[in-house]
């Protein structure tokens, strides 16, 4: 037992009480009719006018799809505006409307009143100790996340473009599918070229990619291309996972990210192509409701193989 173990139960108990007393278990927060995430979004946008959606997602530790829904809701309420960045046309800058600033002031007034009421029950010295302890504890929680073990780090799933991912994913495909499709440069080159065409479009709202990183290297990935098939049909592409990471539920986790994105953007259907013989992936598709729609022998990859088309129709 370490010297800090004796405090674990006390800190956890106090943390649960804080969550309850501050009202985080309610559907709304801070005297508003807004959710906790919406309240925090308004506070952060007010603190940093011109904040980007990506920066807000990082600050609030929320995924891109969650932030997208949240911002759409706040915009429809007239709380925020989103304007295209002059530096990057794919990025949108966030600012509060007049109504948003009124909400911002109301949230701050509520919070100030809540804290002042609590501090009135304490001595100045105790208040100072609490302010310092809370700040230190928040910093420690953040540091603990960054000091996870190597095994935990390699299972982190991140979204969007990652430096080096085109080469990493093309190499993963070549090594993994080589025994089925044939070794050589043809297949790897075709994967790399197709990804190189897609990646400049990854910032478009209907497109996205999710990667499993290990020490900065992509060890698994999945992509949704929402543009190339048309007809409100999503194209699931480049679903791959390093052989040694299989059997841990990581492939299923990647697939769930892609399916959630497709539900978020209300695609009518999702199409994918795979190779007969990649049985683990095929079983996973079927478990998620995909149906085998087409099968033919093709040689575009450098060797004659049976290609399979799976389709999932969304309600």
Strand partners, 213: 218
Question: Predicted confidence band at 148 (pLDDT cuts at 50, 70, 90)?
Answer: very low
> What H or E segment, with its residue span, contains residue 266?
none
Question: Predicted confidence band at 151 (pLDDT cuts at 50, 70, 90)?
Answer: very low
Rounded average pLDDT over 119-145: 78
Convert the pLDDT of each residue in 24-48 to its tens digit: 888 888 889 999 999 999 999 998 8
Q: Could you say which of 147, 167, 201 is where a domain stops? A: 147
Q: Are residues 157 and 294 in the same domain?
A: yes
Q: Are residues 159 and 294 in the same domain?
A: yes
Q: Are residues 32 and 128 in the same domain?
A: yes
Rounded average pLDDT over 143-169: 71
Rounded average pLDDT over 106-125: 89
Contact by Cβ (8 Å): 160, 55 = no
Q: Are residues 63 and 109 in the same domain?
A: yes
Q: Are residues 51 and 182 in the same domain?
A: no
| Percent of the chain topping pLDDT 90 | 40
CB-based contacts of 153: which residues, under 8 Å, 6+ apart?
213, 214, 215
Rounded average pLDDT over 48-73: 86
Is residue 304 pLDDT above 50, yes or no? yes
Pick the closest to residue 42 from 85, 104, 129 (CA basis).
104
Convert the pLDDT of each residue in 175-223 to its tens digit: 887 777 766 788 889 899 999 999 999 999 999 999 998 777 888 999 9
Pick the closest to residue 207 from 160, 266, 255 (CA basis).
160
Pick the closest to residue 30 from 105, 119, 124 (CA basis).
105
Integer CA distances (angstroms), 82 to 36, 79, 101, 173, 207, in order: 21, 10, 15, 38, 19
Q: Are residues 64 and 199 in the same domain?
A: no
Distance CA 14, CA 22 (A): 12
Q: Are residues 105 and 249 in the same domain?
A: no
Surface-to-core class of residue 251, CB atoms within 10 Å of its CB (0-12 exposed, 13-18 middle, 19+ buried): buried
Is residue 23 pLDDT above 90, yes or no? no
Structure tokens at 190: 């075709």
Q: Are residues 129 and 170 in the same domain?
A: no
Quickly count: other Cβ atoms within 10 Å of residue 234's Cβ: 26
Strand pairing class (157-159; 80-84): unpaired
Question: Predicted confidence band at 143 (pLDDT cuts at 50, 70, 90)?
Answer: low
Q: Could you say which of 123, 147, 171 is where a domain stops? A: 147
Q: Are residues 208 and 291 in the same domain?
A: yes
Distance CA 238, CA 286 (A): 17
* Residue-level pLDDT at 12: 86
Secondary structure percentages of the chain, helix, strand, coil, to 5: 50, 20, 30
Strand pairing class (305-313; 92-96): unpaired
Sign of the dihedral through C-alpha 148, 151, 192, 299 = negative
Q: Could you say which of 106, 121, 147 is where a domain stops? A: 147
* Residue-level pLDDT at 45: 92
Q: Are residues 181 and 298 in the same domain?
A: yes
Is residue 158 pLDDT above 50, yes or no? yes
Highest mean pLDDT among 90-94, 194-198, 245-249, 275-279 belongs to 194-198
* Residue-level pLDDT at 13: 87
Distance CA 151, CA 132 (A): 33
Q: Are residues 35 and 111 in the same domain?
A: yes
Contact by Cβ (8 Å): 222, 198 = no
Is residue 86 pLDDT above 70, yes or no? no
| CATH number for the domain that contains residue 229 | 3.40.630.30
Domains in the chain, number: 2
Query: CA-CA-CA-CA torsion for 120, 124, 127, 128, nearest 10 degrees?
Result: 160
Convert the pLDDT of each residue in 231-240 to its tens digit: 999 999 999 9
* Residue-level pLDDT at 232: 95
> What H or E segment, with its residue span, contains residue 208?
strand 208-214
* Residue-level pLDDT at 90: 62
> What H or E segment, with its residue span, contains residue 95?
strand 92-96
| CATH number for the domain that contains residue 61 | 1.10.10.10
* Residue-level pLDDT at 150: 41
Contact by Cβ (8 Å): 212, 154 = yes
Convert the pLDDT of each residue in 256-272 to its tens digit: 999 999 999 999 999 99
Q: Are residues 19 and 130 in the same domain?
A: yes
* Residue-level pLDDT at 147: 45
Question: Which domain does 74 fall in, by range?
Answer: 5-147
């Amino acid at each position: 037992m370490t010297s800090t173990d004796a405090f674990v139960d006390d800190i956890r108990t106090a943390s649960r009480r804080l969550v309850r007393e501050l009202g985080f278990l309610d559907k709304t927060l801070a005297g508003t009719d807004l959710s906790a995430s919406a309240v925090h979004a308004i506070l952060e946008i007010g603190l940093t006018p011109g904040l980007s959606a990506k920066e807000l997602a990082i600050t609030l530790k929320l995924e891109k799809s969650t932030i997208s829904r949240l911002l759409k809701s706040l915009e429809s309420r007239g709380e925020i505006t989103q304007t295209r960045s002059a530096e990057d046309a794919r990025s949108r800058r966030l600012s509060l409307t007049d109504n948003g600033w009124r909400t911002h002031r109301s949230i701050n007034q509520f919070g100030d009143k809540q804290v002042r009421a609590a501090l009135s029950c304490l001595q100045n010295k105790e208040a100072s100790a609490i302010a310092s302890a809370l700040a230190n504890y928040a910093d420690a929680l953040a540091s603990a996340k960054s000091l996870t073990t190597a095994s935990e780090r390699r299972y982190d799933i991140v979204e969007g473009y990652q430096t080096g991912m085109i080469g990493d994913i093309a190499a993963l495909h070549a090594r993994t599918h080589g025994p089925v499709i044939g070794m050589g440069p043809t297949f790897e080159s075709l994967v790399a070229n197709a990804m190189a065409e897609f990646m400049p479009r990854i910032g478009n709202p209907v497109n996205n990619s999710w990667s499993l990183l290990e020490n900065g290297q992509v060890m698994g990935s999945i992509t949704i291309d929402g543009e190339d098939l048309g007809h409100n049909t999503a194209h699931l592409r480049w679903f791959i996972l390093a052989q040694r990471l299989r059997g841990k539920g990581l492939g299923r986790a990647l697939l769930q990210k892609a399916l959630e994105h497709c539900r978020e953007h209300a695609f009518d259907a999702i199409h994918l192509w795979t190779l007969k013989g990649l049985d683990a992936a095929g079983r996973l598709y079927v478990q998620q409701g995909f149906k085998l729609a087409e099968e033919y022998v093709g040689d575009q990859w450098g060797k004659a193989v049976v290609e399979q088309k799976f389709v999932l129709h969304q309600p």
